[in-house]
Amino acid sequence: MNDTFDLLHSHRSIRKFTEQAIPQETIEALVKAGQSAATSSFIQTTTVIQVNSEENRETLATFAGGQKYVQSASHFLVFYADMNRHKIACDMNEQEMQSGFTEQFLTASLDTALFAQNLVVAAESLGLGCVYIGGLRNNISGVSELLELPELVYPVFGVCLGYPDQDPEVKPRLPVKAVLKQDKYDASDEQDIISEYDVLLRHYYATRGANVKQQGWSEQISNMLNKEARPHMLDFLKSKGYLLK
pLDDT of 97-106, one tens digit each? Answer: 999 999 999 9
**Per-residue confidence band for 150, with pLDDT thresholds at 50, 70 and 90:** very high
pLDDT of 31-73, one tens digit each? Answer: 999 999 999 999 999 999 999 999 999 999 999 999 999 999 9
Mean pLDDT of 217-229: 94
One-letter identity of residue 109: S
Which residues of 11-66 form beta strands (DSSP E)?
46-50
pLDDT surpasses 90 at 89: yes
What is the reported pLDDT for 210? Answer: 82
pLDDT of 158-171, one tens digit each? Answer: 999 999 999 999 99
Which residues, other chains included, contact 91 with Cβ-Cβ below 8 Å and sequence gap of 6+?
97
Are 74 and 162 contacting, i.e. CB atoms less than 8 angstroms apart? yes
**Per-residue confidence band for 124, with pLDDT thresholds at 50, 70 and 90:** very high
The 8 Å CB, 24+ separation contacts for 205-214 are 208/168, 208/169, 209/168, 209/169, 210/168
- Per-domain boundaries in the chain: 3-168, 171-227
Share of the chain above pLDDT 70, in %: 100
List, edge to edge, every strand of the sheet that includes 129-133: 46-50, 75-82, 153-162, 129-133
CATH fold of 3-168: NADH Oxidase (3.40.109)
Q: Please state, in angstroms and rounded to a whole number, the distance separating the CA atoms of residues 101 and 83.
A: 12
User: What totals of helices (H) and strands (E) does the chain contain, helices first?
Assistant: 11, 4
pLDDT of 169-183, one tens digit each? Answer: 999 999 999 999 999
Give the DSSP letter of residue 137: G
Share of the chain above pLDDT 90, in %: 97
pTM: 0.95
